[in-house]
Amino acid sequence: MSTTSGSSRRALQPGPSGWLAAPALAFFLLFAIIPLIGVLFLSFTSWDGLGEIKLDGLSSWTTVLTDPVTGNALLVTAKIMFFSFIVQAPISLLLGVFTAGGQKYRAALAVLYFVPLLLSSAAVAIAFKALLDPNFGLGAGLGLPFLAQDWLGDSDLVLFVVVFVIAWQFVPFHTLIYQGGVRQIPASLYEAAQIDGAGRVQQFFNITLPQLKYTIITSSTLMVVGSLAYFDLVFVLTGGGPGYATRLLPLHMYLTGFKANDMGAASALGVILVVIGLALALLLQRLGGKNRNASQLEGA
């Protein structure tokens, strides 16, 4: 991260005081790191959320690890993570390339694409709940029996409905990331390719895609780690149901803690959530190579 000039002189300068970072650090330690340690501690206790916290050894862990609902929640989380990545990543990438083009109509479309970014998850969930109603929603409105299914009541369908709604809400954000990435690709690369007679598809695979390497890593990391946080949307849309069909890990944790009043077991689930999140982030960083700050413009 060193700059080309002045580095020798800079070494003589004291540099800003570390105290400037202290307020941010204090906030973060108090409301993120201490709770993180707290969740580990609470997983070895039993607590109903109101009364006293009692040390209880491994009993919460035994409860959580022997409960088939935990395994199911992990499976549902993995499925939603996988499918929402498979759906969102290509759509966001293509839309990002599409909206980065200079054409006027594309710019106009882009303005509308980003409207879902403004809606809260609660609003999105409520809107889709109404829209997907078999009697008073989209299916009935268009007179298409295929669309008039009991989308949220059918345990085979509901997972894909959740994936679709997640994509509806989050593709705009990732489109924006890709749009920014595409706009940083030097025009000279495309000009050279055109002179060489490369077609649009060839340009996409030989220039756009490799140049977007770091954007793809950023977006994918946010997507995958973010899918551990699809709490509010699913909570309002399905409440985890029908049955346990959409009971994701974070939702399972919330319901265990705040509805079943078993904060110990919920904390154990929280620890599992943290471990999965960290493992995924590390894995994705490793896959993407370490030096993420290296210039994307190398070879331009």
Partner 1 sequence: MASLTQLPVPPSAPARPAVSPRPRTKGPGRTRPNFLGGLGGWLWLAIIIVPVYYVVMTSLKNQAGFFTSNPMMPPAEPTLDNYKLVLENDFARYFANSLIVTVGSVIPALLVSFMAAYAIVRGKSRFLNWTNNLFLLGLAIPLHATIIPIYWMITRAHMYDTLLALILPSVAFAIPISVLILSNFMRDVPNELFESMRLDGCSDWAMMWRLALPMTRPAVVTVGIYNALGVWNGFLFPLILTQSPETRVLPLSLWTFQGEFSVNIPAVLAAVVLATLPLLVVYVIARRQLLSGLTAGFSK
Comparison of 69 and 276: residue with beta carbon closer to partner 1: 276
Q: Name which position in 58, 86, 229, 287 contacts partner 1 (CB under 8 A).
A: 229
* Residues between 271 and 300 that touch partner 1 (CB under 8 A): 271, 273-274, 276-278, 280-282, 293, 295-297, 300
Comparison of 155 and 194: residue with beta carbon closer to partner 1: 194
Residues 170-209, one symbol each (x = binds partner 1 by CB under 8 A, - = not), give --xx--xxxxxxxxxxxx--x---x-----x--xx--xx-
Comparison of 150 and 232: residue with beta carbon closer to partner 1: 232
Report CA-CA distances (Å) from 19 to 10, 22, 25, 26.
19, 5, 10, 11
What is the nearest approach in angstroms of partner 1 to the Cβ of residue 215? 6
- Paired residues of 46 in beta bridges: 54
Residues 11-50, one symbol each (x = binds partner 1 by CB under 8 A, - = not), give --x-xxxxxxx-xxx-xx-xxxxxxx-xx-xx------x-
Q: Does 64 bind partner 1 (CB under 8 A)?
A: no
- Amino acid type, 289: G
What is the nearest approach in angstroms of partner 1 to the Cβ of residue 79? 17
What is the nearest approach in angstroms of partner 1 to the Cβ of residue 284? 9
* Residues between 111 and 140 that touch partner 1 (CB under 8 A): 111-123, 126-128, 130-131, 136-138, 140
